[in-house]
Structure 1
């Protein structure tokens, strides 16, 4: 059926006259269509079939007046999936290709185009899922059948060995399913249309949960409240406080495999009012229902420490007909690595991906990377009806899964290559650590951590109970004491209490240090920069003047000391404008005689506040040094060109400024405490912070002439929880030092273990990918054989040809990956190393990072991987 060329006026006139119109990649084309009218409809076909044979897709099934060529549908489909162009803009571009003057063209076929695109997407999903080849066809489609599944994830009966259930306990982790769930508030939908007017075409058959059951479940939790006692996650704390006016859907919750990022079947559901438990419960249980009950599962979620607490009780209240086969007792809960630091430390190491055995180097953040890919669709989907949005997102999720499938070869190859190299590196670091620790002590620590790994209710060997109060705790305690004294009738001399006055002076002291660091005296600048310096200095002067009036009441000698200081500057011919350098004359800065004439208890209050400053500044200093170490490693591994180096150096400079500020705060606090309390035992907990002490744990001492070897590096005292020993005191008598060394030793062991596990998991994943692709090939071969028995010759040839093409595609992917990975295994002993035992014992009984000598098990002492010829 040919498409004639028309002038712009002819096209416009024919469109307005309601004539037949074909939409192609180069614009709109009016046509004269003559359909076969003979009585042999089984040969000629219906009008829809006749159009399809001419590669035209009709807008209606009975008497179509608008058609799209398959070429334009394929072009739009790829464009919207790859570049996220919306349907309206694409249609308008075709309109302008036909007439870019805007004088005669009218977009009266937009609704027809939208309807055709939606039907095309849905039929593509059904076709690629083989529903036209299966017995029962589309009505027999089961939940999740339209999804592109992850070939690397374990699926019993498809890509796991027959004896996988009999694997040793210390090797079951390679057959674990890693899953991540999270919510995204970008994928909103306005309150447009309704479910009755615009239902989804494949509810529950793809990535979204079954819509009707989901809405019925949510109706029972209209006023659900969730309370977090861990951290103030906005997802929990503000779920019922946000305003969602004008939106029917405020986002989506999703479940994906956390190692490869594939969206899971029935793993997506709309959110209506924040990230509520009822939404995430239903999504999670819907995913579990489609997974094998026998598989061990590791689930990551950024608020899992709260969400998992009563999950089994909440699941028990679900309708049994929905989740009859769901098992929760073989699920392990963890927090993604990036989100872990947002949680409090106490009681949370049981959720750590760095410390728990059997997780490899999984970070749990793959779902966050998924959001970056799908957020671009929000511009178009938020204006759609519920069904149209549902079908559009299903299509995009399928596309993302397929793109991950075709790059799995490169992804797993690169991961394994890096893991093998890093495994050797961290094993050597651990061996160096072990060589410097007494064997009996190492054995005792490893027994403790193994007991904790097997039963997390045991004492956590990675956690040290904090001693003392932080600066914030001390401020709160002082405020409570002031309130109690006021309640008892003991009123202070001023409405501002002595504790509040000292806290304000300490804040000003911090601002003075910050000002001097940011604006050193003598540095030039533009007029705008000079104006900023003057404004900051004026604000600091006003703040200090206000508190000086209160200080004069509690510290009567302060005004005279200030006057003497300013007079001394004038005598020397110096300016008094540099308020950032003016002494504050705190109790620690005045002599003992003057202090006796001040308000009683001031020295004790400052002493307590200074101790809080010491603790807080040292803790924050460790954090910034840890960040510095990570930034330096990232820069060395990834940054190459000049622009990237400049940006990386700027971030390092900012980090170094924070380190210097915290070190200065610590030194000032220690100097003040020394003036208040004098020499004593506290000095062995809060040591003098000298130049070079503020360094990373793996960093060399800059005061030394040469760098120490890796196994003999001296860790700075700031990484030891309780200071150092006195002259002549035994190291073993120092409280806290054993705990600090134990934690670093066990963390080194955990790092080495995680890389060994990562290599083994990656080798197993590569094997599973090839087995999955071969299983898909065999499935399409069976479908091709079954298609040969179809009576209609046209249908028979089309179904058989499509099945043959899909089988060839799966076979080609398997061959490509096999070739890629066979080159990888030419690395020296890569395959052998991946299966070596990781928990080794020396002949003299020294315990490495395995089980104790009384155990019958050796980690990795057997291999239940398939044979090499399968890979």
Structure 2
């Protein structure tokens, strides 16, 4: 709803002084005691909000905080863009008594108000604000008369979801056992009561990404150099061996051009062909320049590369030596030297410290690429949902398919980078006698690259028709420095599946959603009945004498009272049977049968097909029936 004084003009964006004025002005004088405040940047905005309120020294926007509780949250759609700390402290998912509220309601009204810009931009300030007030009043009125249908549909969706989440939670607890689940549930309850306690939703071990590993290696190199204990041969000129290896890893990633070539198709355009030639030539020059620096650290590699050239010339049997593709140019990193065989490699010696540096860099690279694969899979799941929901017609489906195909190319490219990093780790692991990577970084098969199975929970029909597979290992965050069989690591993966994937949280939030809907329906009807009596109390309140003025005011007040009574009666008719659905859902009955019975009883309210076929079109929401006489009354009013 649009509150009085809750909408205002901005001069230089969403500055705190503007947002503070509208926020305090909208809740000033409110008798409410508990507020859930949803704002895109609530994590920053709320920090000094009370200090700013006192600084303004304005009674109209100063509220008495005695007995009031404020909970500041970030809307669900925008929260993933924030840092992990914000995702833990300002999440609707981790907050009690909000149900399935997403916090995006303040934004939805702008889609209806944006078209006003074409006419209001030519108006003066006074007339423009009057027109905006009229529009927002109409918005509030339309929301009120639609409450009956809206609440009915929300209950019919929330109750089956509540029962399904309870079943999913029971299945998960049964498979994992009561011990770990009870331990983590106790931690969650303790954290909700005291946020200074250990947070079960925060990962206890962080993956080491490439940038973080390079920072540590650089800091260690500076420390060893300051002590004068740096190994001989690790610095040539102004370059450290870790910098050389890091540059080699970047070149190795850029060599994965086969995916880009395949993505252009059989008939690339001139622009695509030009871009591929320029990119390949530039990469070849980079590799040549890097190789010259590499020879300073490992002079014996010059002989190895000369032997390679002679072998290719001999294989050509006297013919001209074909050019070597840039993707096939060997970089001869320490991991490649460790696995190479032949007499040519006998003179190449790699210090253990250099192999250790590359090993650590590859661990960070593999973790980083693995997180990139998960991120891309989440984006792909979102695109699939958008395509199924909104794409209609050949043009829309082709564009959606092109976007998904391009994203798949990125997924396979990242998977190839991970496999290359793991191959190097396998070679270095044998030399350095390291085994922990075998458990933390498993082989990435084609079948492992799949989205989260919990995504199908949002589509009940999809969940019933498809066989649910267990979660892929790429979604279980084991972290660093964990040995095989480590209970901490196993619990880390379990907590990710149970809590981070919201099976437990969603079961709780769905139950709260049903409770809130039931309470809200009761309050809506009580408010309408109170509003009816409020209008009736207006009759003859001014004590006017008999005449047209008194008759007109009496007729108007009674008419408004009749409208509120009619709305209350209409809502009660629309909500017939909802109490039974809620009670049967709480009792754990099969809600598919309950909803089916409800649809049969009120077939005029639902147009959903019952064939259950995979290719059944998505049903459209039924139109809410409104009596023509009531519409006429509203228009006349």
Q: Under a length normalisation based on structure 1, what TM-score does the superposition of the two structures give? A: 0.58
When residues 601 and 300 of structure 1 are mapped into structure 2, their CA distance, relative to the original with a 3 A threshold, is same
Counterpart contact for 1:512–1:580, Cα < 8 Å = yes
551, 554, 563: which one aligns with 2:297: 554
* 3-state DSSP of counterpart to 1:332: strand
Equivalent residue, structure 2, for 1:806: 560
Structure 1 residue 362 displacement after superposition = 0.6
Q: How many Å separate the matches in 1 of 2:549 and 2:489?
A: 78
Q: What does residue 277 of structure 2 align with?
A: 534
Going from structure 1 to structure 2, the CA distance change for 1:769 and 1:666 (only over 3 Å counts) comes to same
Paired position in structure 2 for 1:179? none
Other-structure match for 1:437: 176
Deviation track 1:772-831 (CA, whole Å, cap 9, x = no partner) reads 2333333333334447x4459454454444434433433333333333222x638xx413
- 2:415 and 2:9 map into 1 onto residues whose CA distance is 48
In proportion to residue count, which structure has more helix? 2
- In the other structure, the counterpart of 1:755 is 510
Give the structure 1 partner of residue 201 of structure 2: 462
Q: For the Cα contact (< 8 Å) 1:338–1:365, is it kept in 2?
A: yes
The equivalent of 2:593 in structure 1 is: none
What corresponds to 1:603 in structure 2? 355
* Superposition deviation, residue 647 in structure 1: 4.4
Q: 1:540 to 1:378 in 2, by over 3 A?
A: farther
Whole-Å separation in 1 of the counterparts to 2:378 and 2:285? 37
C-alpha spacing 1:832/1:578, structure 2 compared with 1 (3 Å): same
1:275 aligns with 2:18: no
Which whole-Å CA distance do the structure 2 matches of 1:377 and 1:527 have between them?
45
User: Which of 69, 72, 78 is the matching residue for 1:330?
Assistant: 69
For the 8 Å contact 1:288–1:326, the answer to whether it is kept is no
Q: Quick one: structure 1 residues 328 and 316, their matched pair in 2 at CA, closer, same or farther if it must change by over 3 Å?
A: farther
Q: Does 1:831 align with 2:582?
A: yes
Partner of residue 508, structure 1: 251
CA deviations 1:351-381 (Å, max 9, x no partner) are 2212222211111112222233333334454
Change (3 A) 1:611 1:402: same
Q: Which residue of 2 aligns with 1:26?
A: none
Distance 1:834 1:564, change over 3 A: same
Deviation per residue, 1:412-467 (Å, 9 max, x gap): 22222111221222111111111112223322222221122222222111112234
Pairing 1:309–2:47 present: yes
2:213 to 474, 493, 505: 474
Range with greater deviation from structure 2 (317-326 or 298-307): 317-326
Structure 2 match to 1:411:
150
Please show how residues 336-415 of structure 1 align to structure 2 within 5 Å: 336-346=75-85, 348-382=87-121, 384-415=123-154
Q: Which has the larger radius of gyration?
A: 1
User: 1:795 and 1:329, CA in 2 relative to 1: closer, same or farther beyond 3 A?
Assistant: closer
Aligned partner of 1:816 among 570, 576, 583: 570
State the partner residue of 1:448.
Answer: 187
Pairing of 1:583-602 with structure 2 (within 5 A): 583-591=330-338, 597=349, 601-602=353-354
1:472: Cα distance to partner?
1.7
How far, CA to CA, are the matches of 1:381 and 1:749 in structure 2? 48
Q: 1:660 aligns with which of 381, 389, 412?
A: 412
Mark the CA change 1:611 to 1:466 in structure 2 (over 3 Å): closer, same or farther: same
Match for residue 450 of structure 2 among 670, 681, 695: 695
CA distance in 2, matches of 1:797, 1:563: 108
Quick one: higher RCO (CA 8 Å, sep 6+), 1 or 2?
2
How big is the shift at 1:266? 2.3
Change (3 A) 1:812 1:543: farther
* Distance in 1 (alpha carbons) for counterparts of 2:6 and 2:347: 68
Query: Mind listing any 5+ residue stretches in structure 1 that lack a counterpart?
Result: 1-261, 701-706, 839-871
**Native 8 Å contact 2:298 2:348 kept in 1:** no
Deviation, 1:652, is: 3.5
Q: Quick one: structure 1 residues 691 and 749, their matched pair in 2 at CA, closer, same or farther if it must change by over 3 Å?
A: same
Q: Are residue 576 (structure 1) and residue 316 (structure 2) matched?
A: no
* CA RMSD of superposed structures (Å): 3.8
Q: How far is the alpha carbon of 1:741 from its aligned partner? A: 0.9
How far off is 1:543 after superposition?
3.1
Taking structure 2 as the reference length, the TM-score comes to: 0.77
- Asked if the contact 1:684/1:723 (under 8 Å) is kept, the reply is no
Aligned to 2:630: none
* Aligned counterpart for 2:441 among listed residues 686, 707, 727: 686
